[in-house]
Amino acid sequence: MTLPELQALAAEAGMPSFAAGQLAQWLYVKKVKTVDGMTNLSMRHREWLKQHCEVGAQAPADAVRSADGTVKYLYEVGPGKYVESVYIPDKDRATLCVSSQVGCKMNCLFCMTGKQGFSASLTAGQILNQVLSLPETDTLTNVVMMGMGEPLDNVDEVLKALHIMTAPYGLGWSPKRITLSTVGLRKGLKRFIEESECHLAISLHNPIASERAALMPAERGYSIEDVVNLLHNYEFGKQRRLSFEYIMFRGVNDTDAHARALLKLLRGLHCRVNLIRYHAIPGVDLQGSAEAHMLEFRDYLTSHGLFTTIRASRGEDIFAACGMLSTARDTKSGGRVGKLTGETKSGKVRKEPVP
């Protein structure tokens, strides 16, 4: 709940006006798990809250650790429905990759989430729970909305979650600590830019429209050219970063012609390009570009004024890397999940005890 919603709840419960602030502190600062833990509320008001509300905190149902320290967590988000989140520690940074939907409608060729289809959009509470109930929640420095689902296909709940994460009464995070990734749904994109100050990442992957459509069916309804034209109407820079994600596929989008098309498409935008290694998924006949070729592609773009980096790859051995999240293969017993999606390359799953 937002602060105005908590104020309305407090009034309905007959609580004093300052109680909404107390509720927000318990939920978002102290991260209480039960109403009984809200010890500065009267017993009468706590009993009312228990009858009419639930905190919504729910620990992960399962976890698996990569050899590189990345941890993939599984959260139950309704009967028989699950999402995955990925915790990525890196020296003085710790990033959580958060999901916004069960599955995805976009059906990008290279993404396992799209292969499982779409089941449900998450509520703001279910999105926030991935942050608040994470065992390492107090170590987090960054959140990326790059997990399962298309965030702007669930724009109302995503914007509400981002508001609570950045509001002074909520988690109080700087918007600079949060990045949202999208294929570029125009209506939702416009709202996100105007209603949030978080960083923006556009899934690009090919600058040539017909070729992008073969990789990303969303191109047919939300063309990258229209997305770029929209972005020209807004200001990006150090305070709010604009980046384009570009998975490199051998012989598909990594030629000199693609590099030149990228420069033409993004000319005039204050942005960067993040090159991403392709992580092979079952049943898809694509191969990643060679490392040396990725370096050449990066250097060509940078030398022509388009700042380009190669993103470090994490968690591939547990199917936690970019494009590999999926809960389609979960086996359930008594409403609980049997295992996380994917096995390590050795065929074994490294599991962590669930808190």
User: What predicted TM-score, i.e. pTM, was given to this entire model?
Assistant: 0.90
pLDDT in tens, 124-173: 999 999 999 999 999 999 999 999 999 999 999 999 999 999 999 999 99
User: Does residue 320 register a pLDDT over 70?
Assistant: no
Q: Which pLDDT tens digit goes with each residue over 85-117?
A: 999 999 999 999 999 999 999 999 999 888 888
Interatomic CA distance for residues 33 and 26, integer angstroms:
9
What pLDDT shows up at residue 346? 38
Examine the pLDDT at 333 and tell me if it is beyond 50: no
Report the b/e string of 278-298 with b at 16+ CB within 10 A.
bbebeeeebebbeeeebeebb
Please state, as a whole number, how many other Cβ atoms lie within 10 Å of the Cβ of residue 213.
Answer: 16
Q: What is the DSSP letter of 147?
A: S
Nearest Cα to 150, choosing from 189, 196, 124, 177? Answer: 189
Higher pLDDT, 342 or 286: 286
Q: What pLDDT, on the 0 to 100 scale, is given for residue 345?
A: 39
What distance in Å separates the CA atoms of residue 271 and residue 146, rounded to the nearest whole number? Answer: 18
Question: What residues contact residue 65 under an 8 Å CB cut-off, 6+ apart?
Answer: 71, 72, 318, 350, 351, 352
Helices (H), the chain: 3-12, 19-24, 43-52, 112-115, 124-132, 155-166, 186-195, 209-215, 224-231, 256-266, 291-303
pLDDT of residue 282: 85
Q: What is the mean pLDDT of residues 201-214?
A: 97
Active-site entry in 84, 150, 245, 316 = 84
The pLDDT of residue 350 is 41
Could you tell me how many residues make up the chain?
A: 355
84 is catalytic: yes
Average the pLDDT over 197-217 and give the result. 97
pLDDT tens readout for residues 28-81: 999 999 999 999 999 999 999 999 999 999 999 999 998 888 999 999 999 999
Could you say which of 104, 108, 111, 322 is catalytic? 322
pLDDT in tens, 230-276: 999 999 988 899 999 999 999 999 999 999 999 999 999 999 999 99
pLDDT band at 332 (very low <50, low <70, confident <90, very high): very low
Active site residue 47: no
